[in-house]
Amino acid sequence: MTSTTPAAPATPAFPTGSVLGYPRIGPRRELKKALEAFWAGRTAADEVEAVAADLRRRTRARLAELGLATDAPAIPSAFSFYDHVLDTAALVGAVPARFADLQDADGRLDLAGYSTVARGRGDDLPLEMTKWFDTNYHYLVPEIGPGTAFRYASDRPVAEFAEALADGVLTRPVVVGPVTFLALAKPTEDAPAGFHPLDRLDDLLPVYARLLTELAAAGATWVQLDEPALVSDSIGVDAAVLAEATTRAYRALATELARPERPAILVAAPYGDLGAALPVLAATDVEGLAIDLVRGDAPTVAVPGLAGKTLVGGVVDGHNIWRADLDARLTVLEQLAGLGAAAVAVGTSTSLFHVPHTLDDEPALDRTLVQWLAFADEKVREVATLATGLTEGREAVRTELLAASDAVRSRATAPGVVRPEVRERAAALTDDQFRRGPFAARKAAQAERLRLPALPTTTIGSFPQTPEIRKARAAFGKGELSAAAYEDEMKAEIRRVVELQERIGLDVLVHGEPERNDMVQYFAENLDGFAVTQNGWVQSYGSRCTRPSILWGDVSRPAPITVAWTTYTQSLTDKPVKGMLTGPVTILAWSFVRDDQPLGDTANQVALALRDEIADLEAAGIGIVQVDEPALRELLPLREKDHAAYLDWSVRSFRLSTAGVRPDTQIHTHLCYSEFGEIMDAIDGLDADVTSIEAARSKMEILGDIAAAGYPRAVGPGVYDIHSPRVPSQAEVTELLTEAVRTIDVDQLWVNPDCGLKTRRYEEVTPSLEHLVEATRTVRATL
């Protein structure tokens, strides 16, 4: 096809083992601490830069020590201060107009400006945050319009590559690919109807071309462009449109821009199966493809176009923490060799930033459990072992393969993994345990019992987690504070939170969740079948992290968990107190979950434990219980064909947890993230009496869908956007509520914030809730 152009130079060596990415936050959350000190004005930008440079250097050294090559590009250059999608926006100059003043003459953002785009400033809202594929990581959504002026506006990828090279390490720069970047972006507000950011692909590609030429000039031999959009049906872009964009993008970057003007290109497609997008990518002139062989299956027949390409088999799971069965994984890699690729290499299925740094930091974790696990560093070792197996043959890694197989096998028979009493209870479930009585009767019984005003006001559960609360918990954990003293401090906090809610005039009170380090980890700590980590931090967004629990065995509840806290709270007030639990799907979604049985079975075990907890709350006189399911949407499979089965088990597990209550006990649920239309049927299926949802930013648009669907139960569309420090005015909330009562039936409506208040400060929360209650009174007066 290109007989008139000279033959391209031979493809540079690609390492037999590499990883798609690595945690960025630091083993001790060094980056989080540096950023938060900078944002608080306690340090200068160069101190954050110094911490970041040190982290990058230590990461390179660690990855080399664990067996990745330094003379072939095995080690990724994939650092980010906040978010890799924001980095890409900053790289291509796609900064929204409201932040244009933060760019210098060349379009660059400094660290302060970059932070402002991420976090907002006064009335200038930050970029919207949303879930990254089916993970608990949140990215910032770029805003792209017809007028967005793309330009090469950051030399960070090149500088970080050069920094590593000067340190003796040839890295592989990692950047979000152009198709995924635009596919995940949203149109600016001024964009005409029908505009999609992908319409700007041809204008964006020259910036990527410039980046590639700069990287080549700096000595990069390979670059990795991440294109996870290609594994998903759920990002609102038609598969045919994505395929055409992919062809066009890589014609410009790989065909029209020839080597050696650019590095060899590895397109990575993590998080799922490429399906029909695989032949599309294979037909481009990129030099390598990295495919996810944990979520996706290895192709079984030769794919045209693969000849001449390097195929990186993502056989080590980047998204969960189980040690790999190396023997079986090696077999998968050997199968790849039959597909016609020029070379086969070992990789991870996704970046490793979804898993904690290392098991070496978990001395308190049960030793039996530890031998079943692999965190990021242990996964790098697995990759290195598989690479040796691939190049030198199985014999060369015989001991490692045997050890891995033994560990995997030992899980099946270990105590606690299968508990007959848990299995028997789940096997004996009957359909009526998943069903409550008719809603009309429940509604009447609850109205009679609770006697709430029109437009009842409440909050989503948590109140600010103050430094004092966290310090007390840390001291308790270290044994410096007794259990009794810790409990006293938490009770004092509950009293403050109840007094505040009463003073403000809220109708349904909460205890504020001060005793919870995290809404999932807290339950994991109190249920059998889970383990928790000390240092297993994983980035959730920006500087915020969680320590996902490890759900390794059959689940049961040794004792009531929330009952004492809730009844204590109820004893302080005549207003109804809402019990607060995290639902089964969310507990699974935000933990590392066993992979040896269907998720639905695991969810039902958790659901039964919660069902018992709700029964105990009910028996203790609590009339309202909220079961949070903010991750219901997150676990929705990326491929449409898998949606129905997922929604079936997830909805059933929620119903199993909640359907045991009396008609006059009111069940609430809470969901965040607003792509609601697509799971409307599932929300209906949950059969909760009251559902609170995120709605403030989208100006209650969701209510139209709810009204149109004839949804009968109550909803609490959020009227206060808790993701921003901004305090909504009373007039604003009044306006939202006025709109809401025009759209749906008044007796279906509750008034509440978008989500919990734990990340906010009292300076913001108190006036915001005052405005919320005042606005409700104003609107009530008009009814």
Ligand X SMILES: Nc1nc2c(c(=O)[nH]1)N[C@@H](CNc1ccc(C(=O)N[C@@H](CCC(=O)N[C@@H](CCC(=O)N[C@@H](CCC(=O)O)C(=O)O)C(=O)O)C(=O)O)cc1)CN2
- Residues with catalytic roles: 723
Give the whole-angstrom CA distance, residue 367 versus residue 362: 10
**Selected binder of Zn ion within 243, 672, 683, 737 (CB under 5 A):** 672
114: region left, alpha or beta (phi > 0 left; psi from -120 to 50 alpha) = alpha
Q: What's the maximum distance between 2 C-alpha atoms anywhere in the chain?
A: 85
Give the whole-angstrom CA distance, residue 316 versus residue 357: 15
Three-class secondary structure of residue 583 per DSSP: coil
Q: How far is the CB of 3 from ligand X (least distance, A)?
A: 54
- Report what 471 binds from Zn ion, ligand X, ligand MET, none; CB cut-off 5-8 Å by kind: ligand X
User: Is 170 among the residues that bind Zn ion (CB under 5 A)?
Assistant: no
**Residues near ligand MET, by CB under 6 A:** 460-462, 513, 519, 580, 628, 630, 670, 672, 755-756, 758
Question: Between 75 and 460, whose beta carbon lies closer to ligand MET?
Answer: 460
Q: How far is the CB of 320 from ligand X (least distance, A)?
A: 15
Query: CB-based burial of residue 214 (10 Å sphere; 0-12 exposed, 13-18 middle, 19+ buried)?
Result: middle
Which of these segments, 217-225, 367-375, 469-477, 745-753, binds ligand X (CB under 6 A)? 469-477
Give the whole-angstrom CA distance, residue 223 versus residue 268: 10
Q: How far is the CB of 564 from ligand X (least distance, A)?
A: 19
- Report what 136 binds from ligand X, Zn ion, ligand MET, none; CB cut-off 5-8 Å by kind: ligand X
Q: How far is the CB of 756 from ligand X (least distance, A)?
A: 7
Question: Between 458 and 521, whose beta carbon lies closer to ligand X?
Answer: 521
**Selected binder of ligand X within 62, 473, 611, 668 (CB under 6 A):** 473
Structure tokens at 278: 């695989």
Helix spans in 71-155 (H): 84-91, 111-119
Three-class secondary structure of residue 145 per DSSP: coil
Give the whole-angstrom CA distance, residue 352 versus residue 357: 9
Residue pair 566/622 in contact by the 8 Å Cβ criterion? yes
Residues within the annotated binding site for 5-methyltetrahydropteroyltri-L-glutamate?
Answer: 29-32, 131, 544-545, 590, 634
Structure tokens at 327: 């023997």
Interface characters, 729-768, with Zn ion (x: CB under 5 A): --------------------------x-------------
Give the whole-angstrom CA distance, residue 301 versus residue 294: 18
Q: Give the pairing of strands 288-292 and 264-269.
A: parallel
Residues within the annotated binding site?
Answer: 29-32, 131, 460-462, 513, 544-545, 590, 628, 634, 670, 672, 694, 755
Give the whole-angstrom CA distance, residue 277 versus residue 229: 10
**Selected binder of Zn ion within 456, 514, 630, 716 (CB under 5 A):** 630
Residue pair 528/553 in contact by the 8 Å Cβ criterion? yes
17: region left, alpha or beta (phi > 0 left; psi from -120 to 50 alpha) = beta
120: region left, alpha or beta (phi > 0 left; psi from -120 to 50 alpha) = left
Question: Between 173 and 630, whose beta carbon lies closer to ligand MET?
Answer: 630
Question: Between 577 and 755, whose beta carbon lies closer to Zn ion?
Answer: 755
**Selected binder of ligand X within 253, 545, 550, 599 (CB under 6 A):** 545
Question: Between 304 and 477, whose beta carbon lies closer to ligand X?
Answer: 477
- Count residues near ligand X (CB under 6 A): 18
Q: Which amino acid is at 511?
A: H
Whether a cis peptide bond, with omega within 30° of 0, leads into 260 is: yes
**Selected binder of ligand X within 362, 400, 518, 554 (CB under 6 A):** 518
User: Is 666 among the residues that bind ligand X (CB under 6 A)?
Assistant: no
Question: Between 174 and 460, whose beta carbon lies closer to ligand MET?
Answer: 460
Residue pair 327/350 in contact by the 8 Å Cβ criterion? no
Q: Where are the beta strands (DSSP E) in 206-287?
A: 222-226, 264-269
Whether a cis peptide bond, with omega within 30° of 0, leads into 363 is: no
Give the whole-angstrom CA distance, residue 617 versus residue 51: 47
Question: Between 535 and 730, whose beta carbon lies closer to ligand X?
Answer: 535
Interface characters, 556-595, with ligand X (x: CB under 6 A): ----------------------------------x-----
User: Is 136 among the residues that bind ligand X (CB under 6 A)?
Assistant: yes
Q: How far is CA 418 from CA 197, 358, 413, 552, 555, in A?
A: 50, 27, 8, 10, 9
Q: Which amino acid is at 93?
A: G
Q: How far is the CB of 581 from ligand MET (least distance, A)?
A: 9
Q: How far is the CB of 211 from ligand X (least distance, A)?
A: 31
Measured in residues, the chain has a length of 783
Terminal C-alpha separation, the chain: 73
Interface characters, 361-400, with ligand X (x: CB under 6 A): ----------------------------------------
**Selected binder of ligand X within 149, 159, 474, 485 (CB under 6 A):** 474
Q: How far is the CB of 588 from Zn ion (least distance, A)?
A: 17
**Selected binder of ligand X within 175, 509, 519, 656 (CB under 6 A):** 519
User: Is 761 among the residues that bind ligand X (CB under 6 A)?
Assistant: no
Which of these segments, 246-254, 445-453, 666-674, 701-709, binds Zn ion (CB under 5 A)? 666-674
Question: Between 470 and 503, whose beta carbon lies closer to ligand X?
Answer: 470
Per CB under 6 A, residues contacting ligand X are: 136, 465, 467, 470-471, 473-474, 517-520, 540-541, 544-546, 590, 759
